[in-house]
Amino acid sequence: MTPFSLFQKLRFCICLLGLSLLFAHAQTPNTTRKDARLPSLGDGSEMALGEERHIGESVMREIFKDPDYLEDPILLDYLLSVWQPLIEASKLRGDLSAEMEQRFAWQGFLVKDPSINAFALPGGYMGVHLGLISAVSNRDELASVLAHELSHITQRHISRLFAQQAQQTPLMLGAMVLGIIAAGKNPNAASALMVGGQAVATQSQLNFSRDMEREADRVGYGVMLQAGYEGSGFVSMFQKLQQASRLNDNGSYPYLRSHPLTTERIADMASRQVGLSEGVNPQNSMPSNWGHLAMSARAKVLTKSNSDAYQLNIDLAHKALRNPNETLSNQIALLYAGVLSSLKVSNINQARQFLSTLEKLSYQAKTPEFSLQLSLLQAQFFYEENQPMLALGILDALPKSRAVQFMLCDNQLKLNTRDAKLACTLSLRDWLSAHPKDIHAWELLSDAQQKSQDLLSSIRSMAEAFALKFDYAPAIDRLYAAQTLSKEISKKTGLTKAQEVESSIIDSRLRTLLALRREQSLQR
């Protein structure tokens, strides 16, 4: 299954087309502006940062609706643990300006798709396919892709492409959109759609230019090293992509189509790592890489949604146990996938067997990262086994990351006691005070409030989640419903102090969202 259906691709690509045309007509370049600072590599774009952010939000609105948009707190925590150091390194190097840091979202998200791909969107959004996480051998390889994509953002390549597209006629832009859609399915079909005099101009816009690719390689490599990752990850990732290219990419590597490799790019990266040995990187089988192996296995399982695929993972885990020549690293990965797949098919006994063996293997060389991932897997097992107290015992001892916070709440709600539900609600409110744009936190808070019979707050929290998805119509509908409920409570029993405060927030938020919806309508 592709990350977006053909219809869904068409829908948000048309949205992009409309916005790019809007900006082409609305903007006039300021040729008289003077700036004392030296220009960055990304300067020369005619698009303002706020406009670029708005385009990204428009695309994200469609992505949030897509069934392959995935919220898995454990895997997302891992992705962000690689992504955030790159952002910090980019700031230290001066590639990411203070204004861009403030104006852009810098939000990473997961796409439930087995193909090897990642993509940057205008405004600082980063999408990563599960297939990429499952294919890379270590954190360094994943960091190399993310650093490259981050550099496309910081060097404003996307904005510069939009500026180029604004010089094309609407007919050419329409052909480009159709080509992008077809390229997601069949590269040859994309070429067939680009006919006549528009073909060359359209094809040139499908991908970043060679200069932009080289720039993203060079800047991304520097960012990666600044963040503490090994530069060998860039080279070994290029080797993977080159091998796929030699095998005539069968569609599993859409990254090759949007970021085509050239001999020059490969040679440039190789020259930066003179003496890199061929073959398997020894790091891949070291205990320090076990945390990544666990997350790679998790990504492989989460791309599936049928019992046959889960059963295959279970069979492979059994085979790993019976094979005396299986490497310890492979056993770790296969057993993790076996536990998770067994839980997916509700085979608790099988999951327990794999988990017990995995725990024994981990004693041979524990590392902090793998110990954390194993603890989270144990907590997930106890949650599925309907033993929330055991899960809470494990989670309470862990650092309070996003995944841990949410898993604590899930188990507190499963306990279904007044104190547990209150604890969940309070912890989520604390989390949202520091992370007010966390969509899943608002959704989980809404669930906790509903189970605590705080319906007024529950409706408002769900409205906030919709608003953060830029889907203002359902958000407004819920706020209207909350207003109606508030009036009913006032007539029957009178509002408590907390309900009065909540009603006041609902009225204020409704006015804000109505204004945002009007603005959104004008921009279409």
Give DSSP secondary structure letters for 227-250.
Answer: TT--THHHHHHHHHHHHHHHT---
Tokens representing 475? 């958000």
What single string gives the DSSP state of each residue in 337-364? HHHHHHHHTT-HHHHHHHHHHHHHHHTT
Residue 288 DSSP one-character state: G
Give dist(CA 151, CA 456) in Å, integer: 44
Q: Is 413 a member of any domain?
A: no
Total residue length of the chain: 524
Q: Which ranges of 120-260 does DSSP label H, i.e. alpha helix?
A: 130-135, 139-154, 157-165, 170-183, 187-193, 198-206, 210-226, 232-246, 254-258
Q: 222 and 141 share a domain?
A: yes
**Which CB contacts under 8 angstroms, 24+ apart, belong to 241-247?**
242/266, 244/116
Of the three residues 331, 357, 384, the one that is the final residue of a domain is 384
**Which pLDDT value is given to residue 239?**
80
Q: Is 419 a member of any domain?
A: no
Q: For residues 109 and 69, is the Cβ–Cβ distance under 8 A?
A: yes
Give dist(CA 127, CA 384) in Å, integer: 29
Q: Which of 182, 207, 204 minimizes the C-alpha distance to 193?
A: 182
Q: 243 and 101 share a domain?
A: yes
Torsion of CA 261, 267, 269, 270, to 10 degrees: 130
**Which pLDDT value is given to residue 52?**
84
Q: Tell me the residue range of the domain where 156 lies.
A: 6-27+46-272
| Counted domains in the chain | 3
**Which pLDDT value is given to residue 13?**
46
Give dist(CA 361, CA 333) in Å, integer: 11
What residues does 69 pair with on adjacent strands?
111
Torsion of CA 458, 462, 464, 470, to 10 degrees: -170
**Which pLDDT value is given to residue 255?**
63
Q: 361 and 251 share a domain?
A: no
Residue 409 exposed, middle or buried by CB count within 10 Å (0-12, 13-18, 19+): buried
Of the three residues 239, 272, 305, the one that is the final residue of a domain is 272
Which portions of the chain are predicted below pLDDT 70? 1-46, 162-208, 244-264, 266-267, 269-285, 523-524
Q: 251 and 289 share a domain?
A: no
Q: Is 416 a member of any domain?
A: no
Q: Which of 524, 428, 402 minimizes the C-alpha distance to 472?
A: 524
Give dist(CA 439, CA 444) in Å, integer: 9
Q: Is 421 a member of any domain?
A: no
In tens, the pLDDT along 170-193 reads: 444 334 434 443 444 344 444 443
Tokens representing 197? 């005099």
Q: 341 and 470 share a domain?
A: no
Q: Is 32 a member of any domain?
A: no
Tokens representing 417? 């006691």
**Which pLDDT value is given to residue 415?**
96
Q: 265 and 310 share a domain?
A: no
Q: 191 and 241 share a domain?
A: yes
**Which pLDDT value is given to residue 249?**
56
**Which pLDDT value is given to residue 479?**
98
Q: Which of 138, 16, 12, 71 minimizes the C-alpha distance to 442?
A: 71
Q: 172 and 196 share a domain?
A: yes
Q: Is 217 a member of any domain?
A: yes
Of the three residues 349, 368, 384, the one that is the final residue of a domain is 384
Tokens 């906790």 sit at which residue? 448
Q: For residues 285 and 322, is the Cβ–Cβ distance under 8 A?
A: no
Q: Is 441 a member of any domain?
A: no
- Kindly state the helix (H) or strand (E) to which residue 251 belongs, with its residue range: none
Q: 253 and 288 share a domain?
A: no
Q: Is 218 a member of any domain?
A: yes
Q: Which of 259, 222, 227 minimizes the C-alpha distance to 240?
A: 259
Q: 232 and 86 share a domain?
A: yes
Tokens representing 371? 């110990």
Phi and psi torsions of 127, nearest 5°: -100, 135
Q: 293 and 377 share a domain?
A: yes
Note the Cα 238 to chain centre separation in Å: 22
Q: 368 and 467 share a domain?
A: no
Residue 278 DSSP one-character state: S
Give dist(CA 109, CA 61) in Å, integer: 13
